[in-house]
Amino acid sequence: MSNPPRTPADLLSSALDQDPGRPLVTYYDDATGERVELSVATFANWTAKTANLLQDELATEPGDRLALLLPAHWQTAVWLLACSSAGVVADLGGDPAAASLVVAGPDRLDAARACGGERVALSLLPLGARFPQRPEGFVDYAAEVPGQGDRFMPYAPVGADDPFLRLPGGEALSGGETVRRALADAESLGLEPGSRVLSLRAYDGWDGLSAGLLAPLAVGGSVVLCRDRSEVDASGLRKRAEDERVTHTID
């Protein structure tokens, strides 16, 4: 019998063991028309490569704080699980000046320059493309992550009591606390294995992270994320929910 998940990374490992081919994260950018669907296996591969980038190339250590300045995006979800894998604390919307390193999208690069450590930039362009020109002072994530290993092994074990998430306002959660809260949210939302959640919430606090990733992941469900939703009216969202076989819509 397998051990119960202790951390968000364990939740992903469990999903990989159970059904690696099923969809896990589907992402829409309605400003560009982009649609990306990642199976559990593909998402886990991106997570492993990103965790290797953190541990080996960026030389992070367990407990280091990473200021995460990204929207609700499939790559943001990857970074959250990579932080859990490597024992790095994901500081959601955190102050770059107080962080060991920062990960930022194109609209947050000026703020990210306040970080005195490593700075990673994400273009958030379709298909995970590189910046046309790498921002000065930043590592281009899309240029660096493909060459990382497909399997990740932390140098030090990451436990349930180790810090994982820092929320806006300063609330800190360990990996174990994050899993317990995600499971409780899944129960309150009526999620179960196979549930497919269309989340319209931003990744700007616990509610958005839970609905848009952690609660569905905790119970064997999947999530559909929407960016620039102002480009789609209510009938368009209903059609999307139908096309994606959504079971729960969370606004």
Position of tokens 């982009």?
A: 34
Average pLDDT rounded to a whole number, residues 230-251: 91
173-227 confidence digits (pLDDT tens): 999 999 999 999 999 999 999 999 999 999 999 999 999 999 999 999 999 999 8
Q: pLDDT class for 43, splitting at 50, 70, 90?
A: very high
pLDDT value at 134 more than 60: yes
Cα gap 116→238, rounded to integer Å: 45
Instruction: Please report the pLDDT score of residue 228 as a whole number.
Output: 75
> CA dihedral in degrees (7, 11, 17, 18; nearest 10)?
150
Instruction: Please report the pLDDT score of residue 4 as a whole number.
Output: 64
73-93 confidence digits (pLDDT tens): 999 999 999 999 999 999 999
What is the domain class of 8-250 according to CATH?
A: alpha beta
Cα gap 97→69, rounded to integer Å: 13
Q: Residue ranges of the domains in the chain? A: 8-250
**Helical packing angle, 40-52 and 8-18, nearest 10°:** 140
